[in-house]
Amino acid sequence: MIDLHCHSTVSDGALPPREVVRLAAQNGCRLLALTDHDHTGGIAEARAEAVLHGIRLISGVEISVTWRGGTVHIVGLDFDEHDAALQTLLAKVRGGRIERLRQMSEKLAKKGIEGAFDGAMVLAAANPEMVSRTHLAEFLLQQGIVRNKQQAFTKYLGEGKCACVPHRWADLEAAVNAITGAGGIAVVAHPMRYDLSATARRALLTEFREAGGRAVEVHSGSCSLGDRLNYALMAERFDLWASAGSDFHREGAYGGILGACPELPPLCEPVWAHFREPFCH
């Protein structure tokens, strides 16, 4: 079993890195990458735990990228997490989160919802530089303002909603260069989730490939067999290797089963065959 996309409390997951590894081991995982948003701080803890369970732990990160005015995510795999240029880029991306939260909270206050900034920061206290819209959504849920987190996004926090503040993340080329410069492989994360036309999707993969990107997630979360086949064909068309990840954040919600991604379609060239130490599945 392989899982090259999952999250811990270092970003917006529910479990600490060591517990992510333990759960992956319980589910039969043999190759795992912890890919927290814009942060590599959980890798050392996860790697130490992985040794205890006989899991091969690959360094990972999920970088937030602004592309054509929207947000896409680029996963980095099998890189040197101590690389200075990569860490500089990640720190820069993280630095914009608190200011964005402040601006969104001010918009909520104009709608009569007070205390959002402080409330979200309390929820993100374990790692405040990784505060996100998810913490605002949790605050709105705790205050009884919304029935669930999804409603927080559809009513207040989502693109085009009253409290949304567009944020400029990393540039696509800069993110890919930082990953490859650190010796890693850049991967387009969950391409089936982006609200893009077929033309825009092809443009994204073209620009990504031209920047030095080498892989795309053919499987992500709980996507369908149809999605896997569609992106397997697209990977072949753009000469991209195939990756697979659960995008696990917490049990029972958001993402697939940690450590238990389905097999890739036979036509795929798996990304793990191109790691610095190739993995034989």
Domain housing 134: 94-157
d(CA 189, CA 232): 14
14 and 81, same structural domain? yes
Neighbours of 256 (CB within 10 A): 21
Q: The CATH number of the domain where 261 resides is what?
A: 3.20.20.140
176 and 40, same structural domain? yes
Q: Looking at 130, 157, 184, which one is the last position of a domain?
A: 157
pLDDT in tens, 48-101: 999 999 999 999 999 999 999 889 999 999 999 999 999 999 999 988 888 889
Q: What is the pLDDT along the chain (281 residues), one digit of tens a residue?
A: 899 999 999 988 889 999 999 999 999 999 999 999 999 999 999 999 999 999 999 999 999 999 998 899 999 999 999 999 999 999 999 888 888 899 999 999 999 999 999 999 998 887 788 888 889 999 999 999 999 989 999 999 988 899 999 888 999 999 999 999 999 999 999 998 898 999 999 999 999 999 999 999 999 998 888 889 999 999 999 999 999 999 999 887 777 889 989 999 999 999 999 999 987 76
Q: The CATH number of the domain where 139 resides is what?
A: 1.10.150.650
227 and 198, same structural domain? yes
267 and 188, same structural domain? yes
d(CA 132, CA 128): 9
d(CA 201, CA 196): 6
Establish if 134 belongs to a structural domain.
Answer: yes
Q: Looking at 134, 157, 180, which one is the last position of a domain?
A: 157
Which SS3 state, helix, strand or coil, does residue 164 take?
Answer: coil
Give this prediction's pTM.
Answer: 0.87
263 and 135, same structural domain? no
Q: Are the C-beta atoms of 187 and 75 separated by less than 8 Å?
A: yes
Helices (H) and strands (E) in the chain, counts: 9, 8
Q: Which residues contact 26 (CB under 8 A, 6 or more apart)?
A: 259
Q: Are the C-beta atoms of 26 and 18 separated by less than 8 Å?
A: no
Please report the pLDDT score of residue 139 as a whole number: 95
Amino acid at 91: A
Task: Please list the alpha-helical segments (H only) found in 54-183.
Answer: 84-110, 116-123, 133-142, 149-152, 172-181
188 and 83, same structural domain? yes
Q: Which residues contact 240 (CB under 8 A, 6 or more apart)?
A: 188, 205, 209, 213, 214, 215, 216, 234
221 and 123, same structural domain? no
135 and 260, same structural domain? no
d(CA 88, CA 117): 26
Structure-token pair, residue 117: 């900034």
User: Number of structural domains, the chain?
Assistant: 2
